[in-house]
Amino acid sequence: MLVVEKLRKTFGNHEVLKGVHLTVKKGEVVVIIGPSGSGKTTLLRCLNVLEMPDEGTVTIDGKQLQFANKPSKKEITNFRRLTGMVFQAYNLFPHMTALENVMEGPMTVKRLNKHEAKEKAEQLLAKVGLKDHMHMYPFQLSGGQQQRVGIARALAMEPKVLLFDEPTSALDPELVGDVLKVMKDLANEGMTMVVVTHEMRFAREVANEVIFFDEGMIIERGHPEQLFTHPKHDRTRQFLKRIQ
């Protein structure tokens, strides 16, 4: 479903991604962990070209972007429609209600009419447990509720792959559970997901594969049980020790 090859990205003279390879099969959940500054968020943001990689390719559902030959804005925009993204800071549109946030993509990008978009948005909001909060503005919702709207908004575009950038890092601890539950449900329904997170329990319970990322490279990858209990590399071991 998702294939990343030789992905490189440099900020100034700091090489953030040093030729990353990654394959995610349809329906798989891949969790990326690693210290801050390791480049894991940059990697995720390169997958939908919010950061422009210098080199390499990303292929999603058979459609490929080659970054060495500078894809056009139009190619990038079309490519982005294959993925959905959930942000650490939610990034909901503050001037729209929860419902309008979820309707926005389908109406503006997919040209759905208002009626169809609304019906779909209502279903999605019900699915993330916010049926009763549809008409509220983001500022009237808790962080956990906002993030669930963010997930519904991303789902509304029917992406092939859903990207999560530390979706629970900005949340109060007691609100994390609701968001993780929605993510778990999605995983169980067969959604292909790439998740950057510090939630090790989520990684353990949901991930098909966990990737330990550091200094712009994949250091180690494996089944969560194996990676968490028998890490092969020292750096992985040190990192896991520090966060537990």
Task: Name which of residues 29 to 48 contact another protein (CB under 8 A).
Answer: 48
Q: Residue from 15, 75, 104, 116 that binds another protein (CB under 8 A)?
A: 104
Quick note: the x/- pattern for another protein over 67-96, rule CB under 8 A, is ------xx--xx-xx-xxx-x-x-xxxxxx
Cα distance between residue 133 and residue 64, in whole Å: 39
Cα distance between residue 116 and residue 133, in whole Å: 19
| By the rule CB under 8 A, 157 interacts with another protein | yes
Q: By the 8 A CB rule, do 214 and 38 touch?
A: yes
CB of 153 to another protein, least distance (A): 7
Q: Residue from 52, 68, 109, 126 that binds another protein (CB under 8 A)?
A: 109
| By the rule CB under 8 A, 133 interacts with another protein | no
Q: In the complex with another protein, which residue's Cβ is closer, 1 or 96?
A: 96
| By the rule CB under 8 A, 117 interacts with another protein | no
Task: Please state the separation of Cα 154 from the chain's center in Å.
Answer: 10
Cα distance between residue 196 and residue 175, in whole Å: 18
Interacting residues toward another protein by CB under 8 A? 48, 50, 73-74, 77-78, 80-81, 83-85, 87, 89, 91-96, 104-105, 108-109, 137-139, 153-154, 157
